[in-house]
């Protein structure tokens, strides 16, 4: 796996026409922070849009790209998955195409939980107050309005100023290729075809105060539109959640206390958490709360909107993404916690190592394992 792989994609075509389960070609289409769901959906107290009452229970979801072929939709149905997230970009990120993609999925008997837009995900212009900040915020507002018009009520947002950082690929169980981060091996940031390097990715060091001010400016501008359109925004953790990378502090979504403060600033029922278990585990003690503690806290605040279900072999400063049953976290405890809090949103496989036997093998393995964990958790908790 190359460092510029697509961290949250699920299937995309490689140059030779094969389907890649999201471990490569970072800059192509589906990206971090991926899709999401909604949990503990009490109706918002503000805004004009009504939210649907979602069926109870944890929903396992898959991710596709805006140009995914029919066989990928068939594969989703063959795995018994009812929900998908679709990532788009550029000319694909239009109201007309959103309607087309939703209709296509429904033709396969699949519900669309979110249509993502890479153009307004991880925007340095917003995070760092660079030129075109206002234009990007307006683009994001238009995106939210398009989701509302199509009847989609969730989106994931990531607020990183210099991308997702990785070092060279490594291997996990049985030689499966996986993303890695080793702070001693010249990691680099990648996002949407851009590469970020140290010592200063944007020519100067930014202060924590600047990062907070820029977040506040953005979220205060877009939260009213999200409320108006009935769209929930789940914010993904910084990946990796280190205190600073190349002069850019990761002080907001790199730790639990930052999340709490950020949600208080937003002061909106529509702004919550996309809890990426893998990213949370990457930080380990640096996060301030365990994954299980975070699930219970954010669910209690009605802010737990979506789960990225993945594992790593160890916390920072060096981790390798691994299979859900092969990391340092017992992922059954995560699934059980979701059942305990009556999570009604989406859990998605994420960053699946590349197995032999075909590009879809790792994804099918992960889905099967998640289904087994879910069945056990629901039986034990009594949901």
Asked if residue 362 is part of any domain, the answer here is yes
Asked if residue 6 is part of any domain, the answer here is no
Q: Are 225 and 144 in contact (CB under 8 A)?
A: yes
Q: Which tens digit of pLDDT belongs to each residue from 236-268? A: 999 999 999 999 999 999 999 999 999 999 999
Strand partners of residue 170: 178
What is the pLDDT at residue 45?
39
The band of 30, judged by pLDDT with boundaries at 50, 70 and 90, is: very low
Q: Are 37 and 152 in contact (CB under 8 A)?
A: no
CATH of the domain at 324: 3.20.20.150
The band of 181, judged by pLDDT with boundaries at 50, 70 and 90, is: very high
Asked if residue 226 is part of any domain, the answer here is yes
How many helices (H) does the chain have, and how many strands (E)?
10, 20
Chain mean position to CA 185: 25
Asked if residue 363 is part of any domain, the answer here is yes
The band of 56, judged by pLDDT with boundaries at 50, 70 and 90, is: confident
What is the number of other CB atoms lying within 10 angstroms of the CB of residue 202? 16
What is the pLDDT at residue 49?
55
- Residue 96's φ and ψ, nearest 5 degrees, are -60, -45
Asked if residue 341 is part of any domain, the answer here is yes
Query: What 3-state DSSP class applies to 72?
Result: helix
Asked if residue 1 is part of any domain, the answer here is no
The band of 128, judged by pLDDT with boundaries at 50, 70 and 90, is: very high
Q: Are 127 and 159 in contact (CB under 8 A)?
A: yes
Query: What 3-state DSSP class applies to 109?
Result: coil
Asked if residue 239 is part of any domain, the answer here is yes
Alpha carbon distance 120, 36 (integer Å): 16
Asked if residue 93 is part of any domain, the answer here is yes
pLDDT average, residue stretch 60-81: 96
Burial call 18-54: b when 16+ CB within 10 Å, e when fewer: ebbbbbbbbbbbbbbbbbbbbbbbeebeebeeebeeb
In the chain, how many domains are there?
A: 1
Residue 186: exposed, middle, or buried by beta-carbon count in 10 A (0-12, 13-18, 19+)?
exposed
Identify which has the larger pLDDT, 357 or 340: 340
Strands, DSSP E only, in the chain? 12-13, 19-20, 59-65, 83-88, 111-117, 154-157, 164-166, 170-171, 177-178, 180-182, 188-191, 194-196, 232-235, 244-245, 248-249, 271-276, 304-309, 311-312, 318-322, 346-349
- Domain range spanning residue 323? 12-377
């Amino acid at each position: 796996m190359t460092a510029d792989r697509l961290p949250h994609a699920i299937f995309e075509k490689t140059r030779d026409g094969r389907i890649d389960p999201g471990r490569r070609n970072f800059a192509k289409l589906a990206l971090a922070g991926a899709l999401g769901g909604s949990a503990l959906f009490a109706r918002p107290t503000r805004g004009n849009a009504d939210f649907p009452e979602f069926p109870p229970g944890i929903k396992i979801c898959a991710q596709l790209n805006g140009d995914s072929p029919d066989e990928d939709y068939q594969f989703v149905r063959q795995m018994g998955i009812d929900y998908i997230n679709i990532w788009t970009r550029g000319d694909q990120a239009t109201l007309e195409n959103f309607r087309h993609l939703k209709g296509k999925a429904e033709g396969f008997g699949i519900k669309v939980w979110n249509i993502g837009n890479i153009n307004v995900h991880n925007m340095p212009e917003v995070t760092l107050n660079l030129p075109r900040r206002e234009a990007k915020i307006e683009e994001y507002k238009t995106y939210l309005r398009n989701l509302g018009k199509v009847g989609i009520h969730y989106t994931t947002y990531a607020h990183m100023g210099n991308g997702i950082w990785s070092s060279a690929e490594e291997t996990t169980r049985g030689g499966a290729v996986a993303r890695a981060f080793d702070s001693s091996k010249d990691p680099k940031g990648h996002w949407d075809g851009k590469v970020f390097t140290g010592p200063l990715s944007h020519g100067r060091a930014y202060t924590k105060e600047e990062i907070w001010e820029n977040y506040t400016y953005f979220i205060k501008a877009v939260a009213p539109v999200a409320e108006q359109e009935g769209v929930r925004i789940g914010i993904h953790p910084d990946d990796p959640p280190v205190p600073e990378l190349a002069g850019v502090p990761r002080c907001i979504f790199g730790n639990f206390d930052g999340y709490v403060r950020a949600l208080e600033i937003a002061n909106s029922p529509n702004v919550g958490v996309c809890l990426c278990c893998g990213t949370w585990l990457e930080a380990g003690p640096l996060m301030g709360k365990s994954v299980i503690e975070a699930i219970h806290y954010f669910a209690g605040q009605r802010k737990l909107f979506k789960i990225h279900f993945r594992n790593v072999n160890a916390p920072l400063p060096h981790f390798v993404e691994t299979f859900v049953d092969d990391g340092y976290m017992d992922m059954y405890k995560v699934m059980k916690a979701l059942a305990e809090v009556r999570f009604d949103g989406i859990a998605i496989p994420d960053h699946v190592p590349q197995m032999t036997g075909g590009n879809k093998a790792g994804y099918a393995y992960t889905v099967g394992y998640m289904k087994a964990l879910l069945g056990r958790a629901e039986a034990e908790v009594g949901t």
